[in-house]
Structure 1
Amino acid sequence: MFPNFKQRILIICSASIGAFILIFAAHALMPKDASTGIVLLNANLGLLPALFSLLIYAIPAIVLALLCSAAGHPYAGLLVASFSLLVLAAAGGSPEGFIWSIESPQQYLTLIFETLIWLALFIAFLFAIHITRPTLRKKLEHVPSLQTHAPDFNLFVNFNSNAIIALLLSAGIAGFLTNNLILSTATAQSTCSLILAFGLAAFLTKLIIPKTNPLAIFLSPFLVAIVAYALIRFNATSYPTMTALYIKLYQQDFPGMAIALPIQYASAAVFGSVLGYSAGSSMDAAFTHENDADPATT
């Protein structure tokens, strides 16, 4: 993603600074009952004050992410922002807090609405990159570390049937892997499993469907999250009461992808998706270059 050493240092420093500042927002986002796991709709301050606090603390991460996208590859900003949010999600603690705090499996509807909120914030951030990148690149054109051959940011075009297939494929692979990797409510397991599952899914999807809009792959975490929570909310036969849910959870007969919280999908899963897509793009480019250089293929 970054072809030179200076740009690698830039993204690492930006992600570290953004995460260090954003982590201080954790106290404003914690649930009303002082349990673990960040859910904006259950924040002690209320939804709007919690969103305001989140955005205030996120300003440094957002600014640095926009600068990274302008100075290098456009998806570099996604890495900075998602990593910063990942650290905040980890600071919020285990998803177990939400599970123990609800009185009915029907309250998983809260997580579906929460996912839609994170999806809206994600789209808004992508749009901010889309708007600011051309201007920032002009202002940074004399900076020695600027990646001069970085591609344009065109995520909002060509979202066609090919992209929809890529979205479903990536979500299907990631959902299957997440379901089998997350076996407990431990924060580290959810985080690492999401990065691995969505990274591998994005990598494979990019190789299978190389000519697709990457936005489709980056949206897959939100689709998986909504499906996961819907499996609990609208399955009264398997989850009629919280007692039945607890039994299935501790017998490891509970969908692993329904354990992770929306903030973890918006951070760890997106982070993994960008890494996987970047790795797939590099391999695809290597294959293309090798075929072009091989006389037998011409």
Structure 2
Amino acid sequence: MAAWAAGILALLVVVPLAARRGFDDLLATHWNAFGEPNGSLPLWAVVLVPVAVWIVLVAGAVFLRAARRWRGAVLVSCGVLLAGEQVAIVRANLDHADWRDADSVTLWVVVTVVAAGAAGLVGMLVSGRPASPVSPGQGPKMDIPAGERRVWLARTENPWLYALSAVAGVVALAALLVGLGDLARPMWLLIVPFLFVSMTVSACSSVRVRVAERGMDVAFGPLGWPVRRWDAADIEWARAENRTPAQVGGWGYRLSGLGTTVMLRSGECLVIRARGKNFAVSVDDAERGAALLNSLAGARTELP
């Protein structure tokens, strides 16, 4: 889903900016019942409005605990709808010096609405039912000789998320360069959201996990920040599980019926139960990390 979100975002920006020499600064954006244009917006608004709507939709899908099948259907359907409308507006205004001469968009809008409805249905079917929470259970343990200290380290990266972060960064840079030619254009309204997307996706592109005597640290992104920490005494249990993006609702930092999952690749994940909540991160050798965590947590709870 991260690739879909970034792809729609890039299309909403690139299509009007790439064709900007084919029309005036004002573009027709509203048509009457007879297919005649009767409303217009400047180019920057044509880009910014659907981008803002899309960012709000994606943010809601990531942070709200809605049912996963409805969340996927809404994102797929709205993505097709916004992209289709953007292409229709650019196509209708292309090669017209005055927005009042823009072509009709009736046929294109009808096709877009039908395609959005079909895409939403497909998204719902593909998403399937939300995953059920995993019941608590006792994980493996590691024998630690007296007086010995052990540390477990793991790191995972997702090159595709790095690429999506780079694409958003390039769009922000392109908007900056375009704005330098005419300071009257509020291109910063494009720079800020795309820069934010680039930094956010970059932070979810890699993860470093450290298990030591004090507990577990999970550091995000190439700079190792932000960091989430759990004390060993707060961890009820830890274990290794195999999970897929389909189970948790996509890539990156996900909230689902399974709890919080940092999904960077399919397969083995380290899962912990702490402070009444589940947290999972996709890393290799997760069983060894879980065994060390269970031993450390048990040792802390046994202390007088």
Tell me the TM-score normalised to structure 1 length. Answer: 0.24
TM-score with structure 2 length normalisation?
0.24
* Higher relative contact order structure (alpha carbons within 8 Å, sequence separation ≥ 6): 1
Say which structure is richer in helix: 1
Q: Compare CA radii of gyration and give the structure with the larger one.
A: 2
